[in-house]
């Protein structure tokens, strides 16, 4: 490898060019400005050479030969003709073959207008076909999943979808069948194409063979207006193109970038957008009167909230949320609560996350791109496929294509187990014990320890389940930091939670990753904001408990739903119930918003402009394409008005003005100005702190003494991609895909309890839920796994003693 | 003679009148009588149906995209399989032409792949309300039996025979999405522009005239 020159010189159509060695000819030609037609070639997939559209002539010792340029690597001294008569004829001939059976129903095809087959038939085809014969027919379209429709007549057998599913997503649910004239792409019998990544195949299909049901016949490509934005579904912040027609967002496509998503999206990113058009979206301010909500004007609602909030002592008010929207919104939230209301109690997490300082400022922090060069990846945290699906793709790629060794520690099987070098399952609560054994490398753990000794190491650490102690993640990070060349990536999943923490929506942080106890940082902020409340405040659990115990009186819920998201729902309910005054910033009547006295309707996906900070600290621009529904407004402007009503003028005229204030006030954000993020290299954002920014807080995790929780049986509850969260529930495309709730039991536990698969049991932890039993041998004995926050498990908590009762007279 | 000229004066003044009185009349008794329009007259549009009553429009929006006045609004929808509105997977769910904006250029007719939209000789489109100027599918679509949606279906301004002539080629290529349509001709030369491509020269002739300067095939080392 080492003797291979970094660049080679090829002669492309008579011009000598220097290109990077090792890349396919088609790629090198494209970078040099010569487009070679292609259908099967995709820069993020392994070349297959099946469509033959990219034939070019290469001179060799035995004369020139037509070779597929996607499977031919560039070689030194290669002489290539891409426009010779022979090449043109060959390419036109291939197109004629591809069109022999293609139905040409372009006017009804969703791809018509943006179809590579149309475009390339125009550019490289003969213009005429000599085929007058009957075309091949298949039944069409067939539903291969709840989201995807397959039209085999249109398929040109490029294998992009099958290669994506097998190589990239690891869900090989779609394959070729039959031979000769009857080769067809199809799913396996009785097994739908139920992949979390199925939408990507629609995007990369070069014809209209795979189409998405939510977009089907909604618009034609030339109707669409698009803006580049990022997806706030999870903390990866995948680059997306949000596309709207007639002022309605109807499609989201992935945008290829090296930094985050490589162009891929999860189906949740892709199909979540229609929640903003849900029937029951809140579009006017609501005020509770005699237990019922009534519509109110903005002036009335703002007047009421400012009056009520003003009537309490500042320290008796708290705020939860801010992770659902932009940095600008979170900043306004933080500024309002800290400087106008005067409370230190605010938290962007809902008791289900990590320590704020650890998540926001761990050093050294890994970037997603570090996965490309890592030799070893330690994943001790959530099942990435369920919680951070795009990161799952990147980790999977590192493990399958880039030779990284993956070590997974999780209470049960995860989506990445198949590509991992080592998987360790453990009983939740025994994590600290396992960590000690792993660090020591005793016995069975010796080979794992040996793998971990090879750097560079990227450690992905988070909470494996909601019942897990958040300090365990820090202990794991502290252990990982002793590994060679180690970098840490804290795993949180909720939207813009990293941005919210960076904006000081945390009990221990001020905007720009400043420790709340940092005297110089406080002084600098007080110069901008006026006086600040002292010391660290309460976190979400503390706030909810404080409300229940009467230490706090009022709560501002900024897009948070603690009733459904907090690990102990009874705490959340008790807190909200006891609160004297609750104001919610919401799009929907969530379980928590129902407790509110005033609800402000807020703008959502595609309706707001701003910036967002992802899991690696990359700040990117979010753009708006449609106006907010009804009278809904962006969060920052509501806080602006509230502050003015309470006697402090923020004076922010636009989200951009708030953004400019952030770059001035928040130290780590210096240099992350909007105009820098909109053009050129800044389009993929910057990882903070940028070169001209500074990182005031450098947090190194320490191994805290995490108690081992032992119990006869322990509940492991973790999130799944499609849960019963308020956004998914209102997204018509994916709402129906919510996982079926079941209680997963180890076979031995099931036999001890005399339970068989399908029996109904009642599980009691904090709340209770009655669920069918699923036997799951991937669990450790004594662990019961239940997916968190599904409709059937909504009342169930994550922390507390577990009781299992078999339901008599169930349908078992 | 001047008195004679003076006597004839008024009569001479009527010369033109008298002459025209015996020529054939150009005016018609509109609206009782309507002049026959030139055959390719660009009048009001209709949305046509196939002889079996199916709508020809498939909601492809090509007319809307080609319209220079941007006066057409189309939205497609999934064809209900049990009661399809048009052959194929999609039908024109919304079809509106803003006649106040239309410049009657006929580009929509040219763009239509199924000959769903054509132009009649109808020209009376006065409306008493601007909203009525937006012609919806109710107004434009012909009756299920193929007669135009017009108070006087027998008007000479609509050539019903011509309306029924066109049978869009796309119908054959999108056989209601069913495999049973196997055997229906899928592609007809009528859809192509120009004739068939000229026959290829045989391989041996091609090699003989190969003057690209590249090595002849079969050159051995």
Give the separation between CA A572 and CA A545, rounded to whole angstroms: 8
Asked if residue A248 is part of any domain, the answer here is no
Identify whether residues B50 and B131 lie together within a single domain. yes
Instruction: Look at B65 and A220 and tell me if their CB atoms are within 8 Å.
Output: yes
Q: How many domains does chain A have?
A: 4
Identify whether residues B162 and B185 lie together within a single domain. no
Instruction: Look at A128 and B196 and tell me if their CB atoms are within 8 Å.
Output: yes
A581-586 and A514-515 strand pairing: unpaired
Task: State the pLDDT at residue B4.
Answer: 79
Q: How many domains does chain B have?
A: 2
Cis peptide before A364 (omega within 30 of 0): yes
Q: What is the ipTM of this complex?
A: 0.84
Q: List the CATH number of the domain containing A42.
A: 3.10.20.740
Tokens of B205: 């002739």
pLDDT higher than 60, residue B194: no
Identify whether residues B110 and B203 lie together within a single domain. no
Task: State the pLDDT at residue B197.
Answer: 43
What secondary structure does DSSP assign to A403-436, as a single string? --EEEEE-SS--TTGGG-SEEE---TT-HHHHHH
Identify whether residues B46 and B129 lie together within a single domain. yes
* Domain of A730, in residue numbers: 714-806
Asked if residue B21 is part of any domain, the answer here is no
Asked if residue B108 is part of any domain, the answer here is yes
Percent of chain B topping pLDDT 70: 73
Last residue of a domain, one of A440, A474, A491: A491
Phi, psi at A154, each rounded to 5°: -80, -20
Identify whether residues A348 and A471 lie together within a single domain. no
Asked if residue B215 is part of any domain, the answer here is yes
Measured between beta carbons, the chain B residues lying within 8 angstroms of A216 are 78
Identify whether residues A572 and A601 lie together within a single domain. yes
Task: State the pLDDT at residue B167.
Answer: 55
Identify whether residues A341 and A379 lie together within a single domain. no
Q: CA dist A291 to A286, A287, A288, A523, A576, Å?
A: 12, 10, 6, 44, 14
What secondary structure does DSSP assign to A545-556, as a single string? HHHHTTS--EEE
Asked if residue A276 is part of any domain, the answer here is no
Identify whether residues B157 and B189 lie together within a single domain. no
Identify whether residues B62 and B144 lie together within a single domain. yes
Q: Chain B: nearest CA to A48, how far in angstroms?
A: 27
Give the separation between CA A608 and CA A624, rounded to whole angstroms: 5
Q: Is A321 exposed, middle or buried (0-12, 13-18, 19+ CB in 10 A)?
A: buried
Q: List the CATH number of the domain containing A755.
A: 2.40.40.20
Chain B, nearest residue to A99 by Cα: B187
Asked if residue A120 is part of any domain, the answer here is no
Q: Is residue A806 less than 8 Å (CB to CB) from chain B?
A: no
Identify whether residues A62 and A39 lie together within a single domain. yes
Asked if residue A189 is part of any domain, the answer here is no
Identify whether residues A487 and A523 lie together within a single domain. no
Task: State the pLDDT at residue B199.
Answer: 53
Asked if residue A236 is part of any domain, the answer here is no
Asked if residue A437 is part of any domain, the answer here is yes
Q: Is residue B24 less than 8 Å (CB to CB) from chain A?
A: no
Q: Is residue A104 less than 8 Å (CB to CB) from chain B?
A: yes
Identify whether residues A599 and A576 lie together within a single domain. yes
Q: Is A546 exposed, middle or buried (0-12, 13-18, 19+ CB in 10 A)?
A: buried
pLDDT band at B180 (very low <50, low <70, confident <90, very high): very low
Task: State the pLDDT at residue A335.
Answer: 96
Identify whether residues B54 and B152 lie together within a single domain. yes
Identify whether residues A342 and A372 lie together within a single domain. no
Nearest-CA neighbor of A744 among A413, A369, A268?
A: A413
Last residue of a domain, one of A83, A114, A147: A83
Cis peptide before A456 (omega within 30 of 0): yes
Task: State the pLDDT at residue A812.
Answer: 41
Contacts of A159 (CB under 8 A, 6+ apart): A40, A48, A50, A176
Measured between beta carbons, the chain A residues lying within 8 angstroms of B215 are 63-64
Phi, psi at A658, each rounded to 5°: -65, -40
Identify whether residues B54 and B162 lie together within a single domain. yes
Measured between beta carbons, the chain A residues lying within 8 angstroms of B117 are none
Interface probe with B: pick from A63, A104, A107, most Cβ of B within 10 Å: A107
Task: State the pLDDT at residue A343.
Answer: 95
Chain A, nearest residue to B199 by Cα: A130
Measured between beta carbons, the chain A residues lying within 8 angstroms of B189 are 132
Identify whether residues B148 and B45 lie together within a single domain. yes
Identify whether residues A659 and A779 lie together within a single domain. no
Q: How many CB pairs under 8 A join A and B?
A: 88
Task: State the pLDDT at residue A5.
Answer: 59
Contacts of A440 (CB under 8 A, 6+ apart): A449
Identify whether residues A518 and A660 lie together within a single domain. yes
Q: Which residues of A273-302 are buried (b: 16+ CB within 10 A; e: fewer)?
A: bbbbebeebbebbbbbeeeebeebeeeebb
Measured between beta carbons, the chain A residues lying within 8 angstroms of B59 are 108, 217
Task: State the pLDDT at residue B189.
Answer: 34
Identify whether residues A482 and A509 lie together within a single domain. no
pLDDT higher than 80, residue B169: no
Q: List the CATH number of the domain containing A384.
A: 3.40.228.10
Last residue of a domain, one of A83, A110, A136: A83
Identify whether residues B81 and B168 lie together within a single domain. yes
* Domain of B68, in residue numbers: 37-173
Task: State the pLDDT at residue A525.
Answer: 94
Q: Please, what is the average pLDDT of chain B?
A: 76
Asked if residue A322 is part of any domain, the answer here is yes
Q: What is the dihedral of CA A182, A184, A189, A192, to 10 degrees?
A: -160
> Residues 310-339, chain A: which have Cβ within 8 Å of B?
none
Identify whether residues A322 and A382 lie together within a single domain. no
pLDDT band at B185 (very low <50, low <70, confident <90, very high): very low
Asked if residue B24 is part of any domain, the answer here is no
Identify whether residues A579 and A643 lie together within a single domain. yes
pLDDT higher than 80, residue B166: no
Q: List the CATH number of the domain containing B166.
A: 3.30.70.3270
Residues in chain A where the model's pLDDT stays below 70: 1-5, 808-812
pLDDT digits (tens, 9 = 90+) for A669-690: 988 889 999 888 888 899 988 7
């Amino acid at each position: 490898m080492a003797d291979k020159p970094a660049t080679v010189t090829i002669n492309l159509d008579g011009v000598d060019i220097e290109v990077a060695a090792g890349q396919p000819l088609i790629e090198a030609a494209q970078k040099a400005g010569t487009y070679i037609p292609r259908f099967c070639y995709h820069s993020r997939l392994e070349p297959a050479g099946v469509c033959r559209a990219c034939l070019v002539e290469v001179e060799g010792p035995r004369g020139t030969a037509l070779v597929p340029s996607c499977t031919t690597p560039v070689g030194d001294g290669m002489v290539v003709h891409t426009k010779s008569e022979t090449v043109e004829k060959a390419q036109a001939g291939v197109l004629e073959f591809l069109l022999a059976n293609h139905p040409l129903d372009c006017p009804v095809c969703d791809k018509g207008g943006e179809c590579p087959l149309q475009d390339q038939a125009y550019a490289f085809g003969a213009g005429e076909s000599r085929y007058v014969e009957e075309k091949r027919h298949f039944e069409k379209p067939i539903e291969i999943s709840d989201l995807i429709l397959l039209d085999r007549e249109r398929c040109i057998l490029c294998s992009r979808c099958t290669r994506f599913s097998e190589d990239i997503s690891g869900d090989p649910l779609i394959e070729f069948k039959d031979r000769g004239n009857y080769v067809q792409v199809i799913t396996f019998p009785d097994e739908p194409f139920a992949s979390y990544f199925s939408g990507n195949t629609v995007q990369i299909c070069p014809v209209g063979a795979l189409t998405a049901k939510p977009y089907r016949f909604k618009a034609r490509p030339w109707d669409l207006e698009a803006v580049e934005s990022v997806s706030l579904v999870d903390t990866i912040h995948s680059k997306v193109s949000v596309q709207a027609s007639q002022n309605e967002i109807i499609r989201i496509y992935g945008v290829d970038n090296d930094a985050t998503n490589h162009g891929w999206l999860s189906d949740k990113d892709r199909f979540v957008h229609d929640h903003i058009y849900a029937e029951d979206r809140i579009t006017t301010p609501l005020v509770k009167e005699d237990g019922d909500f009534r519509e109110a004007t903005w002036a009335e609602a703002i007047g009421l909230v400012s009056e009520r909030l003003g009537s309490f002592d500042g320290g008796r008010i708290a705020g939860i949320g801010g992770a659902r929207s932009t940095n600008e919104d979170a900043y306004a939230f933080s500024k309002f609560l800290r400087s106008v209301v005067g409370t230190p109690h605010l938290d962007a997490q809902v008791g289900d996350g990590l320590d704020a300082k650890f998540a926001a400022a761990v050093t050294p922090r890994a970037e997603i791109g570090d996965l490309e060069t890592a030799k070893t990846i330690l994943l001790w945290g959530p099942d990435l496929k369920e919680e951070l699906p795009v990161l799952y793709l990147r980790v999977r790629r590192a493990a399958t294509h880039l030779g990284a060794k993956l070590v997974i520690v999780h209470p049960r099987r995860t989506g990445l187990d198949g590509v991992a070098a080592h998987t360790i399952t453990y009983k939740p609560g025994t994590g600290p014990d396992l960590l000690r054994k792993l660090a020591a490398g005793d016995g069975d753990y010796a080979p794992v320890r040996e793998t971990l000794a090879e750097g560079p190491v990227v450690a992905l650490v988070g909470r494996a389940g909601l019942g897990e102690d958040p300090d365990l993640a820090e202990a794991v990070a502290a252990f990982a930091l002793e590994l060679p060349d180690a970098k840490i990536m804290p795993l949180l999943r909720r939207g813009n939670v990293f941005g919210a923490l960076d904006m000081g929506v945390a009990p221990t942080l001020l905007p720009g990753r400043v420790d709340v106890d940092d005297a110089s940082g406080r002084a600098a902020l007080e110069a901008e904001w006026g006086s600040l409340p002292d010391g660290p405040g309460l976190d979400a659990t503390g706030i909810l408990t404080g409300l229940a115990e009467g230490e706090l009186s009022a709560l501002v819920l900024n897009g948070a739903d603690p009733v459904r998201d907090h690990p102990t729902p009874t705490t959340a309910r008790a807190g909200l119930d006891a609160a004297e005054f609750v104001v919610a910033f919401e799009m929907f009547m969530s379980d928590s918003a129902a407790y509110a006295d005033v609800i402000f309707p807020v703008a959502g996906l595609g309706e707001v402009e701003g910036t967002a900070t992802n899991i690696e600290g990359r700040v990117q621009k979010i753009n708006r394409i449609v106006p907010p529904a009804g009278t809904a407004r962006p969060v920052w402007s509501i806080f602006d008005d509230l502050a003015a009503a309470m006697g402090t003028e923020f004076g922010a005229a636009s989200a951009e003005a708030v953004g400019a204030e952030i770059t001035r006030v928040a130290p780590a954000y210096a240099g992350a100005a909007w105009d820098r993020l909109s053009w050129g290299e800044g389009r993929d954002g910057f990882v903070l702190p940028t070169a001209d920014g500074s990182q005031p807080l450098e947090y190194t995790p320490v191994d805290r003494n995490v108690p081992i929780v032992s119990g006869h049986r322990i509940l492991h509850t973790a999130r799944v991609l499609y849960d019963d969260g308020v956004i998914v529930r209102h997204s018509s495309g994916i709402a129906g895909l919510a996982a079926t709730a079941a209680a997963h039991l180890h076979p031995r536990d099931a036999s001890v309890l005399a339970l068989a698969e399908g029996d109904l049991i009642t599980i009691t932890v904090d709340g209770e839920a009655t669920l069918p039993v699923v036997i799951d041998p991937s669990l450790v004995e004594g662990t019961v796994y239940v997916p968190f926050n599904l409709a059937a498990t909504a009342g169930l908590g994550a922390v507390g003693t577990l009781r299992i009762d078999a339901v008599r007279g169930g349908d078992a | 003679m001047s008195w004679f000229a003076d006597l004839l004066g008024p009569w001479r003044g009527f010369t033109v009148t008298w002459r025209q009185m015996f020529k054939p009349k150009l005016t018609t008794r509109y609206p009782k009588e309507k002049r026959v329009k030139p055959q390719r007259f660009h009048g009001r549009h209709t949305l046509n149906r196939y002889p079996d009553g199916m709508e020809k429009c498939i909601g492809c929006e090509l007319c809307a995209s080609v319209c220079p006045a941007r006066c057409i609004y189309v939205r497609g929808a999934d064809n209900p399989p049990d009661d399809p509105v048009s052959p194929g997977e999609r039908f024109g769910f919304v079809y509106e032409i803003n006649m106040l904006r239309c410049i009657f250029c006929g580009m929509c007719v040219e763009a239509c792949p199924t000959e769903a939209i054509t132009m009649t000789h109808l020209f009376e489109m006065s409306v008493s309300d601007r909203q009525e100027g937006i012609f919806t599918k109710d107004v434009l679509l012909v009756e299920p039996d193929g007669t135009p949606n017009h108070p006087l279906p027998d008007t000479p301004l609509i050539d019903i025979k011509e309306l029924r002539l066109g049978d869009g080629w796309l119908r054959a290529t999108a056989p209601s999405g069913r495999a049973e349509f196997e055997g229906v001709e899928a592609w007809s030369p009528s859809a192509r522009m120009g004739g068939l491509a000229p026959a290829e020269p045989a391989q041996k002739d091609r090699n003989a005239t190969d003057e690209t300067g590249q090595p002849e095939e079969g050159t051995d080392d």
